[in-house]
Amino acid sequence: MSLSIVSAAAASVENIAKEETNRRSANYHASIWGDHFLSYASDSMETDHTARLLELKEEIRKLIIADTKKPAEKLDLIDAIQSNGKFKASLQKDVRGTLSLYEATHLRVHGENILDEALAFTTTHLESIAAQLSPPVAAQVKHALNRPIRKGLQRIDARHYMSIFQEEASQSHNEVLLAFAKLDFNILQKMHQIELSHIAKWDVSAMDQLPGYMKLCYQALLDVYSETEKDMADQGRLYLLHFAKEAMKTLVRNYFYEAKWCHKNYVPSLDEYMTVALVTSAYSMLATTSFVGMGNIVTKEAFEWLFTNPKMIKASSVIGRLMNDMVSHKFEQKRGHVASSIECFMIQHGATEEEARNEFQKQVMDAWKDINEEYLRPTAVPMPLLDRILNLSRVIDVIYKDEDGYTHAHVVLKDSVASLLINPVPL
């Protein structure tokens, strides 16, 4: 679907909606990309870059063989803690060791009290010394404190850390690895650009039986499933699309519940709200839809596992819903929106907004521990499928960490999109 068509359609939909009824509007900003993603040529993959990548891979293979012959130096987490449970003073002098321990704490699960204490200790210590560090290390510490590796999107983080390592002295990083990382990033970025150019060329057909403001949206939705249906039929895996359609139907049904609450000015209990809102966070639907295109690794049993609402899906949905509500509820209430988890909690418990936030931040932290636990135990599905769900959780941290990046994408996400999909890394 052409982005210019989408922009024009959005304006048309808004005008029709105003004519038919006084509908509430979020006043989302116009597309900041226009037809930018239509401009990529399908033959733009440079073969000389691919050849260079293969050369670098061979050099890295030799480096790995050489490194395995040397004693490995690593931070021993147990050794960092004395018998009385206190952290050794020597750890405080080791910035990179402290940073490594800080990153490791974000893999903790329920009941790991030592790692809970380690998170508090390393966070406090890194915050206190950040201003005294040299620029490259300071930038790395600042970034980690805002978004640890566990909660960041890997490709965006890779781009960020390339810049940091580029500034460090040559002896502290391997030039071959850095060159390989840059080239690999640019080649994959070019592949994504080509894919985006194809997606942006979908057509929109008119709908005759729906209100004007719904016609284009509904047809665009059907087009997505029709396109996928053809691909799945060619692969003999058409039955997979059934699960994606059912997930979308479930999502829409729960949107309807929220619409009724909003129309009646009804404020549900927190439990009642979360029963619906965990579905309308869309994470179960997104996970189901993403599985469809993952090939033979995804079986019917994997989809059936998804539809049992396993712990990992629920945890991902909790992260999505609560982080979204915490940064967007004030804006949404001003334009007339169904009560969010914040309002439900405050009314039900006679609590302040700060108390609601503190409670939900704890729940988000617990949800991350649930996700980590799922990685440590045998599951009903292969690990790459769990990675998809993990990455959906990471997206939420990127979009909603400090403000509503979905509503204000032109401010919050523009640079991330540009670095990931538009601007190549200088070689």
Closest by CA to 269, choosing from 182, 177, 343, 193, is: 343
What 3-state class would DSSP assign to 208? coil
Comparing 131 with 170, the larger pLDDT belongs to: 131
Per-residue pLDDT for 350 more than 50? Answer: yes
pLDDT band with cut points at 50, 70 and 90 for residue 41: low
Query: Picking from 28-32, 147-151, 407-411, which range would have the lowest pLDDT averaged per residue?
Result: 28-32
Contact call for residues 263 and 341 (beta carbons, < 8 A): no
Q: In 10 A of CB 373, how many CB atoms? A: 16
- CA pair distance 190, 211, nearest whole angstrom: 40
Contact call for residues 329 and 267 (beta carbons, < 8 A): no
What pLDDT score was predicted for residue 61? 78
Which residues 6+ apart lie within 8 Å of 31 measured at CB?
3, 6, 7
Contact call for residues 100 and 75 (beta carbons, < 8 A): yes
pLDDT by residue (tens digit) across 365-390? 999 999 999 988 777 789 999 999 99
Ordered by where they begin, the domains of the chain are 238-427 (1.10.600.10)
What pLDDT score was predicted for residue 199? 58
Report CA 289 to chain centroid distance, whole Å: 15
- CA pair distance 380, 140, nearest whole angstrom: 37
Per-residue pLDDT for 17 more than 90? Answer: no
Q: What number is the average pLDDT over the span 17-44?
A: 64
- CA pair distance 23, 81, nearest whole angstrom: 59
State residue 83 phi and psi, 5-degree precision: -60, -25
The percentage of the chain sitting over the pLDDT mark of 90, rounded to a whole number, equals 38
Tell me how many degrees the CA angle 295-6-153 measures, rounded to the nearest 5: 45
| Residue 248 token pair | 């979308």
Closest by CA to 59, choosing from 205, 225, 176, is: 176
What pLDDT score was predicted for residue 11? 45
pLDDT by residue (tens digit) across 287-342? 999 998 888 899 999 999 999 999 999 999 999 999 999 999 888 888 788 899 99
Q: What number is the average pLDDT over the span 146-152?
A: 94
pLDDT band with cut points at 50, 70 and 90 for residue 343: very high
Beta-bridge partners for 87: 81
Report CA 258 to chain centroid distance, whole Å: 24
Per-residue pLDDT for 120 more than 80? Answer: yes
- CA pair distance 347, 315, nearest whole angstrom: 24
pLDDT by residue (tens digit) across 219-237? 777 777 877 887 788 777 8
What pLDDT score was predicted for residue 16? 42
Start-end of H helices in 21-46: none
What pLDDT score was predicted for residue 385? 93
Which residues 6+ apart lie within 8 Å of 217 measured at CB?
13
Query: Picking from 70-74, 175-179, 369-373, 390-394, which range would have the lowest pLDDT averaged per residue?
Result: 70-74
Tell me which residue has tokens 């979020």: 26
